[in-house]
Structure 1
Amino acid sequence: MTHPISGTTTKGTTHPVLNPATGEVVASVEVLDGAAVDAAVLAAQKAFEAWRDTSIEQRVEVLDRIADIVHGNAGKLSELLTLEQGKPIAESRMEVDTTEATFRRYADLGREKGAALFAENLGEHVRTFTPLGVVAGIIPWNAPLIVAAMKAGPAILTGNTIILKPAPTTPLATLELSRLLADAVPEGLVQCLVDDGSIGPLLASHPGVRKVAFTGSTVNGRNVTAAGASTLKRLTLELGGNDPAIVLGDADPGTAAAGIFARAFLNAGQVCGAVKRVYVHDDVYDRFVEAIADLVRDVVVGDGFDPAVTVGPLQNRIQHEKATALLAEAARDGTILAQSGVPDVDGGYFVPVTVVGDLDDAHPLVAGEQFAPILPLLRFSDEADAVARANSTEYGLTASVWTSDVAHGESVVQRIDAALLCVNKHNRVDPALGIAMSKQSGTGWLFGPEGVREYLQPHLLFR
């Protein structure tokens, strides 16, 4: 597969893309080098000269057109996602639908806010906001299309141009989207570069790139920050999470188990804001274990193209090796409370959906981000202790409290240092509402008018 860069095709060395359910090579993509990065940045700068002067109505029209293209090609994009990422086809379709909805939401935001996005009247003075220029959107392998929309949507709305760089292991759906857009949007407005892991630092340090919007691990976020330091890049970083759920003693165990199960094991646990550890009050612990074990028994792990499958493989070999080691340590040091089966096949990156008890807070499965379908349960008897333990990691992405007393749940969850707080739900996002990153889970804002302003340069005009 080749790359559309400013309407041309650029070739380099090839890189295999694997199906994580089988380990088979399903495509070869051409990996680009520094010269290709320079060409893409130059094309984006040229496109910016005209795009920056477009009206909000023109930008909204382009966002609507992109959403229509995603909708019209939902089947093909969903199949590519399952092929390269592994998630069940129903989850892939959900991702495509959310991608469409994200572009539409940014179009709606442009219609609703209009010129107010770009100017604030301060009495006798005014604050204006202008586009930055070329944006680099660096995309992870767990949800490539949704994250592409989260970066391209605000960039386009604010008059910037964007270069998307998907992860080396999941380039296909993003490349296909960029091809579909080639004849539908101005040349150079949206480009896509694929690499073997070498282009990200080049984009982050490139003097022609004004902003980097990155989603990925905290370790790689630090690397992006370091690469961009020489040119003081504007950064938006959405990074890792070790997201706690606290089940209080008055919670309904079945309801809490169902909600936590859904948010812990979506995409085989490969979600930044997924539930990663659960603190359960002694009064409901046993009943919670029974309820979540019943759900685990119904899980079908396998190839995402099989409609009966509810949890797919992990996306890549490195993640599979990490998860397999964590599972072995958890089985050695704790108690397996519930576990699904896995397919008896060679080559797939399958890990059983597993719930583990009797681990201490220092255990690697509890203290770090597993990004796998392995969930530790931890007992508590004192709410203050549970909150302190929930706050004990370097991360601060999402958190939830489960209770029959919503008002009390709100008071408890607001003591947790996380960007997104929920009661009786977890990791719910509304693109109309901004979320500010916290601790080492990121910097800047996502979504809402605040997230859009991340793509603009403020100016204070005295008059």
Structure 2
Amino acid sequence: MDYTDLYIDGEWRKGAERFDVINPATEEVLASVASADIADADAALDAAERAMADWAARKPRERSEVLRRAWELMTERLDHFAHLITLENGKAGADAKGEATYAAEFFRWFAEEAVRADGMITHAPASGARIVVQHKPAGLAVLVTPWNYPAAMGTRKTAPALAAGCGVIIKPASETPLTMLALMPLLEEAGVPKGLVNVLPSKKTGALVDHMLHDPRVRVVSFTGSTGVGRKLLKSAADQVLKPAMELGGNAPVLVLKDADMNTAIDGTMLAKMRNLGEACTAANRIYVHEDLAEAFTAKLSQRMSALKVGDGTDPSVDVGPLVNADTRDKVAEFVSDALAKGAKLECGGTVPNGPGYFYPPTVLSNVPETADCVQDEIFGPVAAIQTFADEEDAIRRANNTEYGLVAYVFSDDFKRAMQVCEKLDYGMVGLNRGLVSDPAAPFGGTKQSGLGREGGHEGMLEFMETQYISAEW
């Protein structure tokens, strides 16, 4: 691996300690990566503060052109980044290429948004004074990214922060730091100033991030990960009253209504379940199928899942790579065992293959009871848990019966009826006859315990800006 050190102030630094990154397909060491400490964090904050002073003062079009160039460069190198994603994350080649393409698109989208931080001038109705509203860069941002999308979660946070005029410190997941580190030379080439973006891989995540969140120069914390960790970060952010952007856990329901088109529902469920091997907060977790369709739906889904080829994602013929680590694989296996013990039926898969590699086969469970652990928690793996319903209102109630509210999926050929169901779902996003909702142009985020704020869309840049109002007379 070419880039395995800390990236601070436009330079590569060895760091006092290092840790290993493991290839999940082979269980072999992929690279030894520098581990940042508190002194490194302070150096990164100093660098970002210096660089931001100039960057925030630049014309929006100048920032826009740098981001546009980053999109062009990354688009030229999609295969390189896809291969790196496969090596450290495990996802199959086509899935990794999809992530790289999606990740690059955030640079293009926020290149366009950088020039659209629109304000307002109007008359105050009572006083007659002018109300002038503008948006300004909030300040330094700490970005904490997960392992499941090592490229996209980084660009989804970095691009809007740069568009807004902020300097950033990125803390990538320890399982997958290599992709974000490899992106830094590209950003340099695109024209990102030295020190504006810093990357601090570390095995001391908690202490490192907590230290940065208590630095008065930091004004935004953006985190993608579990709700449990998000709660802890929110407590730390409260001490400095930071702007939090939290994209947390999910427990996504799929509702296949009685009038759904079977092929559309199967295609959409496959995409919602198996994109990124199910290791996504948006992954289909609870699949509610109307009892009239359940038998045919289960048979077709099992057929599709069984046909997927499992193996090392570097093989172009492979559909399903390994899970990211042994703990994730073992947790998935425990979910399946628990569901079977409580009365679920195994339709396909369900057996951990011999190693090496953290593989788990695509699995379909039917007749899954409400008491099964996989219904209450994120599976984060290639397991489809099917339940049935007779009454539509009951299905909506069961879908909403969770502390999470990130995304839901609805399949129906009656558009009016489907829209009524969507509006009754307590989720920040709904895929209607689609198994994919993520789009750089759309506001990504959830309700309830699934987070605060939005990423993507116009809202994504405003998370890194403060609104200033000036009262004036002229």
Scaled to the shorter chain, the TM-score interval is over 0.9
Do 2:271 and 2:436's aligned partners in 1 also have CA atoms closer than 8 Å? no
By how many angstroms is 1:252 displaced? 2.3
Q: Distance in 2 between matches of 1:372 and 1:334?
A: 20
Do 2:36 and 2:204's aligned partners in 1 also have CA atoms closer than 8 Å? no
User: Does structure 1 residue 60 correspond to structure 2 residue 64?
Assistant: yes
Residue matched to 1:181: 187
Q: Distance in 2 between matches of 1:317 and 1:445?
A: 32
DSSP-derived class of the 1:144 partner: coil
DSSP-derived class of the 1:4 partner: strand
Q: Distance in 2 between matches of 1:17 and 1:429?
A: 28
Please tell me the root mean square deviation across aligned C-alpha atoms, in Å: 1.6
Do 1:85 and 1:142's aligned partners in 2 also have CA atoms closer than 8 Å? yes
User: Does structure 1 residue 2 correspond to structure 2 residue 5?
Assistant: yes
User: Does structure 1 residue 38 correspond to structure 2 residue 42?
Assistant: yes
Q: For the structure 1 residues 18 and 263, does the alpha-carbon distance in structure 2 shift closer, same or farther, using more than 3 Å as the test?
A: same
Q: Distance in 2 between matches of 1:436 and 1:95?
A: 18
Residue matched to 1:406: 415
Residue matched to 1:148: 154
Q: Distance in 1 between matches of 2:224 and 2:16?
A: 26
By how many angstroms is 1:330 displaced? 1.9
Q: Distance in 2 between matches of 1:150 and 1:109?
A: 13
Task: Choose from 358, 365, 374 the match for 1:365.
Answer: 374
Q: Distance in 2 between matches of 1:59 and 1:313?
A: 39
Q: For the structure 1 residues 396 and 456, does the alpha-carbon distance in structure 2 shift closer, same or farther, using more than 3 Å as the test?
A: same
Do 1:118 and 1:130's aligned partners in 2 also have CA atoms closer than 8 Å? no
Q: Distance in 2 between matches of 1:261 and 1:9?
A: 42
Residue type of the alignment partner of 2:195: G
By how many angstroms is 1:360 displaced? 1.8
Q: Which moved more, 1:446-455 or 1:50-59?
A: 446-455
Residue matched to 1:121: 121
Residue matched to 1:388: 397
User: Gaps spanning 5+ residues in structure 1: where?
Assistant: none
Q: Which moved more, 1:430-439 or 1:26-35?
A: 430-439
Task: Choose from 189, 195, 203 the match for 2:202.
Answer: 195
Q: Distance in 1 between matches of 2:275 and 2:459?
A: 28
Q: For the structure 1 residues 37 and 93, does the alpha-carbon distance in structure 2 shift closer, same or farther, using more than 3 Å as the test?
A: same
DSSP-derived class of the 1:279 partner: strand
Residue matched to 1:454: 463
User: Gaps spanning 5+ residues in structure 2: where?
Assistant: 124-129
User: Does structure 1 residue 89 correspond to structure 2 residue 93?
Assistant: yes
By how many angstroms is 1:435 displaced? 4.1
Task: Choose from 136, 142, 154 the match for 2:142.
Answer: 136
Residue type of the alignment partner of 1:188: G
Q: Distance in 1 between matches of 2:162 and 2:105?
A: 15
Q: For the structure 1 residues 374 and 82, does the alpha-carbon distance in structure 2 shift closer, same or farther, using more than 3 Å as the test?
A: same
By how many angstroms is 1:345 displaced? 4.2
By how many angstroms is 1:324 displaced? 1.7
Written as runs of structure 1 = structure 2, the 5 A alignment for 1:226-305 is 226-305=235-314
Q: For the structure 1 residues 337 and 327, does the alpha-carbon distance in structure 2 shift closer, same or farther, using more than 3 Å as the test?
A: closer
Do 1:128 and 1:459's aligned partners in 2 also have CA atoms closer than 8 Å? yes
Task: Choose from 82, 93, 100 the match for 1:78.
Answer: 82
Do 1:247 and 1:403's aligned partners in 2 also have CA atoms closer than 8 Å? yes
Q: For the structure 1 residues 180 and 97, does the alpha-carbon distance in structure 2 shift closer, same or farther, using more than 3 Å as the test?
A: same
1:192-223: CA deviation from partner (whole Å, max 9, x where unpaired): 11011422333333332110111111111111
Q: Distance in 1 between matches of 2:381 and 2:251?
A: 12
Do 1:400 and 1:426's aligned partners in 2 also have CA atoms closer than 8 Å? yes
DSSP-derived class of the 1:375 partner: strand
Q: Distance in 2 between matches of 1:8 and 1:342?
A: 47
By how many angstroms is 1:96 displaced? 1.0
Q: For the structure 1 residues 343 and 372, does the alpha-carbon distance in structure 2 shift closer, same or farther, using more than 3 Å as the test?
A: closer
User: Does structure 1 residue 166 correspond to structure 2 residue 175?
Assistant: no
Q: Distance in 2 between matches of 1:400 and 1:299?
A: 22
Do 1:301 and 1:341's aligned partners in 2 also have CA atoms closer than 8 Å? no
Do 1:87 and 1:304's aligned partners in 2 also have CA atoms closer than 8 Å? yes
What percentage of residue pairs aligned between the two structures are identical? 35
Q: Distance in 2 between matches of 1:336 and 1:175?
A: 44
Do 2:298 and 2:366's aligned partners in 1 also have CA atoms closer than 8 Å? no
Q: Distance in 2 between matches of 1:331 and 1:101?
A: 42
1:323-379: CA deviation from partner (whole Å, max 9, x where unpaired): 121122122223344324878542311111111122222321101111111121111
User: Does structure 1 residue 375 correspond to structure 2 residue 379?
Assistant: no
User: Does structure 1 residue 353 correspond to structure 2 residue 359?
Assistant: no
- TM-score, normalization by structure 2: 0.93
DSSP-derived class of the 1:52 partner: helix
DSSP-derived class of the 1:83 partner: helix
